[in-house]
A and B are shown apart, each in its own frame.
Chain A
Amino acid sequence: MGLRTPLFDVHVASGARMVDFGGWDMPVNYGSQIEEHHVVRRDAGMFDVSHMCVVDLRGARVRDFLRRLLANDVAKLTQAGKALYSCMLREHGGVIDDLIVYYMDDQWYRMVVNAGTRDKDLEWLRAHAGGYEVSVEPRFDLAMIAVQGPGARQRAATVLEPGFVARALELGYFFGAEHGQWFVARTGYTGEDGWEVMLPADRAAEFWARLREAGVQPCGLGARDTLRLEAGMNLYGNDMDESVSPLESGLGWTIAWDPQDRDFIGRAALAAQKAHGVPRKQVGLILQDRAVLRSHQKVVVPAVGEGEVTSGTFSPTLERSIGLARVPSQTTDRCEIEIRGRLLPAAVVRPPFVRHGKIAVAL
């Protein structure tokens, strides 16, 4: 038996197909994964993401601490509730995790880290927190529900606590706000508008049921994966890990090089890699044949070299197979993918594939 979120019984009772996901028993779908995908692109779906770990970091020097630990710079966050996406790196530049950090106030930042990396993240944070007198508090008392889709905010607003609705609806992209033990942020992992709602674990089942009554469709991790891949978002453990740097993972944009004297962990290694030329890069792929890209398939770039598919799936929106791959930096617009002993042609594109319900690449 794996770890269970506060919504485990709700998923089972609604007929979800449960699978192991990084040690957690999670719903992969409640029927059709493709239908769940479309409902998020067209209206509103919800995901139990309580397996992800909320960590509160507090202390007078918490800002300095995060400016040392994260490759992106929390000094960019000047308005309360504003969020930042960042990698946390080892000294050699490998990615420990990718995460979102919210600036709550000068002495409090809230971080959301991946489920599968939770223990090593907490260990890393604690190992460095002492020098800054920062407290590291994982919030195991909170559940998290992502409500996503063009109709998500309006539907969810009808069941949010009335005193919180106006503020929640006013949130700009990548902003969050708290209300008692509740926290609503206009963030997500689908490429659609929506909210991620953190709430007391013992309120999760009731809120889930009320969202359902408001017309929000439960969606499993299967649809979450196809949605994030269409949106061109990386999945930790697939698209990057400790063996690669953000520069080789399509995450160069998350590195804050300025100011130059900010000495974040991994900076020297990234600077050296950049100076020598990064040998590999991340690209998007659209398979031109009838098959499906899967992680670890070999990519062949004629006259250049080889790479590997890091994430692949069938895109319900494009009705083609799409993927992310790590390939030689000289790769241009074509490559071939080895699938069941054959080399099939693929177009090399720049993700995202889909943004706000619209196809964002040339087919």
Chain B
Amino acid sequence: MSNVPAELRFLKSHEWARLEADGTITVGISDHAQQALGDLVFVEAPEAGRRVAAGEACAVVESVKAASDVYSPVSGEVIAGNADLGGQPELINQDPYGAGWIMRIRPDDKAQFAALLDAKAYEAALAAETH
């Protein structure tokens, strides 16, 4: 079973998003996604300053098995990509909701965050996917 933290929001495409105290949003891929991909070997995180639109592919995670796009959950400006993933892509496998974060975004409109799937809805989406 994969871990779906209750405080996070999700996309059906398996990204998670966390609203930080300073109003920025941290983004990564879910525990389910990292399990499905297997050992991660390369991550291309976006650079700070890049404008992204909600639903835009803005990072790539590549595992032994497959390459997968990571979609931005909101529109806004990337304020950081996780530089640690360059040398240690396995952080995503080890700690997908912590050290394995991929990017931080300053959203144009926080309402976009509120509209994302909550943990319960994401769990339901996972259940539907595996049946």
Contacts and interface: CB of A to CB of B under 8 A. Distances in A.
Contacts of B66: 294
Interface string A5-39: 00000000000010000000000110011100000
A226 B42 contact: no
A33 B42 contact: no
Interface residues of B, number: 13
Contacts of B62: 291-292, 314
Question: What interface size band does chain A fall in?
Answer: 10 to 19
A226 B64 contact: yes
A294 B65 CA distance: 9
Nearest to A220: B38
Given A34-B64, A314-B64, A340-B67, A292 B38 contact: no
Contacts of A222: 38, 64-65
B42 to A, nearest CB: 5
A313 interface: yes
Nearest to A36: B39
B112 interface: no
A203 to B, nearest CB: 31
Secondary structure at chain A's binding surface: helix, strand, loop or mixed? mixed
Counting chain B CB atoms within 10 Å of each CB, which of A33, A34, A294 scores highest? A34
Interface string B36-72: 0011011010000000000000001010111100000
Interface in A178-229: 222, 226
A314 B41 contact: yes
A33 B41 contact: no
B88 interface: no
Interface string A276-316: 00000000000000111010000000000000000001101
A33 B62 CA distance: 14
B3 interface: no
A182 to B, nearest CB: 33
Contacts of B39: 32-34
Given A314-B41, A340-B60, A292 B67 contact: yes
B66 to A, nearest CB: 8
Contacts of B60: 340
B38 A28 contact: yes
Contacts of B44: 290
Given A17-B35, A340-B60, A291 B42 contact: yes
**Complex A-B, nearest 10 residue pairs according to Cβ-Cβ distance, in ascending order:** A314-B41, A34-B39, A292-B62, A290-B42, A33-B39, A33-B64, A314-B64, A33-B38, A32-B39, A222-B64
29 contacts: A17-B35, A17-B38, A28-B38, A28-B65, A29-B38, A32-B38, A32-B39, A32-B93, A33-B38, A33-B39, A33-B64, A33-B65, A34-B39, A34-B64, A222-B64, A226-B64, A290-B44, A291-B62, A291-B67, A292-B41, A292-B62, A292-B64, A292-B67, A294-B66, A313-B64, A314-B41, A314-B42, A314-B64, A340-B67
Given A28-B38, A294-B67, 15 more contacts: A17-B38, A29-B38, A32-B93, A33-B38, A33-B39, A33-B65, A222-B64, A292-B62, A292-B64, A294-B66, A313-B64, A314-B41, A314-B62, A314-B64, A340-B60
